[in-house]
Amino acid sequence: MIDLARDDDGLAVLTIDRPHARNAISLATMDELEKALDAAAGARALVIRGAGDRAFVSGGDLKELAAIRAEEDAAAMAWRMRGLCDRIACFPAPVVAALNGHALGGGAEVAVAADVRVAADDIRIGFTQVTLAIMPAWGGAERLAALVGRGRALLLAGTGAVLDAAEAERVGLVDRVVPRASFETEWRSVARTLATGPAAEIKHVLDDGTSADDAVRAFARLWAADTHWEAADRALNRRK
């Protein structure tokens, strides 16, 4: 089951809730994820999280996916989920992965499809596909390399190393680690700040291929907007 909740600040929260399978991804979950991403259109920020506190996403649902034996069927499944991860990565607004629990295998691939990863301090994350004699296929290997560098990506995915939250933050795989006790408050604060500010415009500028002209025009639109002058007036009044 996937739940999508939206609030008045423009924040959408997508929760993968499959407690019996530690939030693993099944074929039906892929269908629900696609519908949830459709429903999130127009959000100013999107959060992806798992239900509970044990698992963000524990990977693919092996009990179900074990029925896939033919090479062509395996490729079709991989393309399906890779496309969904691409949709997460290309979402027009900032995407936050709130790592409420462990992110392993395919779960790590979902996590790195997001723009920002906020993790509880007791989670672990790793590209563990190698333990099943396979490799990441949902775009995770390429995104991992972009985050931590080619050599470290090969080492992590090639050995299946699992990192604790502090080490993941040190190497750049996780962006912020917060105490478990304040995790819910912290990720909501980060996501709501992104949703209510110009983060969507900043994301567009950061994307590959954005020209200097695009960046300046985005700035100018924000400068001329009422929200800028309202904020400027508040700042000037505080100084007075």
Which pLDDT score is estimated for 84? 98
pLDDT at 240 > cutoff 70 = no
On the 0-12 / 13-18 / 19+ scale of CB atoms within 10 A, 223 is exposed
Structure tokens at 124: 């672990």
Which pLDDT score is estimated for 126? 98
Same domain, 68 and 150: yes
Mean per-residue pLDDT over the chain, rounded:
95
On whether residue 200 sits in a domain, the answer given is no
- How many angstroms from the chain centroid is the CA of residue 205? 19
Let me know the angle formed at the C-alpha of 156 by 173 and 59, rounded to the nearest 5 degrees. 75
On whether residue 202 sits in a domain, the answer given is no
For the chain, what is the domain count? 2
Where does residue 86 fall: left (phi above 0), alpha (psi -120 to 50 degrees), or beta otherwise? alpha
C-alpha dihedral, 20 to 163 to 47 to 184, nearest 10°:
80
pLDDT at 239 > cutoff 90 = no
Same domain, 110 and 215: no
Q: What is the mean pLDDT of residues 164-186?
A: 98
Which pLDDT score is estimated for 238? 81
Same domain, 220 and 137: no
- Under the banding of pLDDT at 50, 70 and 90, the label for residue 6 is very high
Distances (CA, A) of 60 to 75, 77, 93: 14, 10, 26
Q: What is the mean pLDDT of residues 219-227?
A: 90
Q: Write the pLDDT tens digit of every residue in 16-57.
A: 999 999 999 999 999 999 999 999 999 999 999 999 999 999
Structure tokens at 77: 């499944």
Which pLDDT score is estimated for 160? 98
Q: Write the pLDDT tens digit of every residue in 119-130.
A: 999 999 999 999
Same domain, 75 and 183: yes
On whether residue 120 sits in a domain, the answer given is yes
On whether residue 203 sits in a domain, the answer given is no
Of all residues in the chain, the percent with pLDDT exceeding 90 is: 85
pLDDT at 211 > cutoff 90 = no
On whether residue 199 sits in a domain, the answer given is no
Structure tokens at 89: 């990565």
Same domain, 220 and 179: no
On whether residue 224 sits in a domain, the answer given is yes
CATH number at residue 28: 3.90.226.10
pTM score, two decimals? 0.94
On whether residue 201 sits in a domain, the answer given is no
Q: What is the mean pLDDT of residues 109-128?
A: 98
| HSE of 226, CA atoms in CB hemisphere, 13 A | 0
On whether residue 170 sits in a domain, the answer given is yes
Which residues contact residue 77 at a Cβ distance below 8 angstroms, ignoring those fewer than 6 apart? 27, 65, 68
Same domain, 78 and 54: yes
Q: What is the mean pLDDT of residues 106-131?
A: 98
Same domain, 216 and 112: no
The letter for the amino acid at 5 is A
Same domain, 219 and 185: no
Which pLDDT score is estimated for 208? 66
Same domain, 190 and 213: no
Of all residues in the chain, the percent with pLDDT exceeding 70 is: 99
Same domain, 190 and 234: no
Which pLDDT score is estimated for 209? 66
Helix axes of 71-89 and 106-113: crossing angle, nearest 10 degrees: 30
Which pLDDT score is estimated for 232? 85
Lowest mean pLDDT among 55-69, 116-130, 157-171, 206-220: 206-220
Same domain, 24 and 139: yes
Same domain, 51 and 113: yes
Domain that holds residue 216: 209-239
- Under the banding of pLDDT at 50, 70 and 90, the label for residue 72 is very high
